[in-house]
Amino acid sequence: MFRMRTMKAADFDAVAELIFLSTNAWYQQKLGHPIFRCLPEDCRIFCEVYDDLDPGCALVMEHSRTGAIAGSCFYHPRETHVSLGIMNVHPNYFGNGIAGELLQRIIDEADIRDLPMRLVSSTMNLDSYSLYNRYGFSPFCVYQDMFLHVPETGLAKPAPAELPTVREAGPGDLMEIGQLEFEISGISRERDYCYFIENSTGIWKTMVALNEFGKVEGFLASVDHPASRLIGPGVMRNAPAAEALLRAQLDRFRGKTAVFLLPSGETELIAAAYGLGARNCELHFGQVRGSLQPVTGIVMPTFLPESA
C-alpha cells in the first residue's frame, strides 16, 4: 500500500503541508492549541535546511496508488552520530506502521556507519516515546522547553556584570567551537557550525562566549523564521557562559517570542531564565541508541536541525 523513497525537491511543498497538518493535529488534540502559527508553506524550511546540510538524507512514504505522501522523516549523518530529525505521518494514515518503517530505514543507515543515533522527543507524546523505546532508544536528559516574549525595547533586566563577554561568531572560531563541543558532549558536527556561521539564508545567528583569556567558553546559535523561532543548538562550560549567550540571543528576538531548551538539572540557568520572565511550555527527552559520553557542561539542543 505504501512505498518508501528518497525525498525530492518536488516534494517539498507537500512535505511542508504534511509537517504543518500532522504536528498541529497532535498538539490541537492533546493540548488544545496548534504549534505552528505560520502558513503551511513556511514549513518548507525543514526540507530546505536538511537538504542544504545533507542532500538525499530525507525519506517519504507515499501511497502506492495515489502517490499521496503519507509520511516523512529527515536524518542527519554527522561525524560522531546520526541525528534523527522531525518525523511526521499524515493523520489519515495513522496506525499503518509508517513511522516504524521510516525509523528502521534510518537505523539501518546508522548501523552501516557504525554510529549511535540521537534525537529529541516530546515527553508528552507517549506514542512516539514508545516507538523510539521499542527500537532501542533510551532517555539521557530531560529538557525544559521555555518561551519568552521579548519586549520591543529588549530584555527588561540588565545582564549581571560578572557574565562573560559575548560576540558574534566567525569562521576563525570554528576550530574552538568544534573542540569545545567534543570535549563537553562527545559529538562533532562541523558542517552545522559552518552552515550557521556562513548564514547564506540570513535566518541564523551564532554567538560565542569568551573567558578572560579570550578563549571560547560556549557557543549558541538561533534561527528566526516564521515556522521556527528557536534558540539553539549550543554548548557551554558553565551556567554564566550559558546565561550570557542566552541573553544575547534573546535580544535578537525583540518584539517576538523565542523558544529554547534548558537541561532540567541546570537550576542556576533555569532560575536566570525565570528571572527574565521565561515560562515552561513542554518537556523533551534527549534520547540515544548506542553509546553516549557523559556531558561535562551544558547542552542546549534544538529541533532545526535536530540535535541533542
In Å, the largest CA–CA distance within the chain is 64
Q: Same topology for domains 2-115 and 144-300, yes or no?
A: yes
CATH 3.40.630.30 fits 144-300, yes or no: yes
Domain ranges of the chain: 2-115, 144-300
What is the pLDDT, as a whole number, of residue 1? 86
What is the pLDDT, as a whole number, of residue 30? 83
What is the pLDDT, as a whole number, of residue 286? 96
- Compute the distance between CA of residue 172 and CA of residue 180 in angstroms, rounded to an integer: 14
pTM: 0.95
Pick the CATH number of 2-115 from 3.90.1300.10, 1.10.10.10, 3.40.630.30, 3.30.70.100: 3.40.630.30
What is the pLDDT, as a whole number, of residue 308? 65
Burial class (CB in 10 A: 0-12, 13-18, 19+), 4: middle
Q: Which residues of the chain have pLDDT under 50?
A: none
DSSP string, 107-171: HHHHHHHT--EEEEEETT-HHHHHHHHHTT-EEEEEEEEEEEEPPTT--SSPPPTTSPEEEE--G
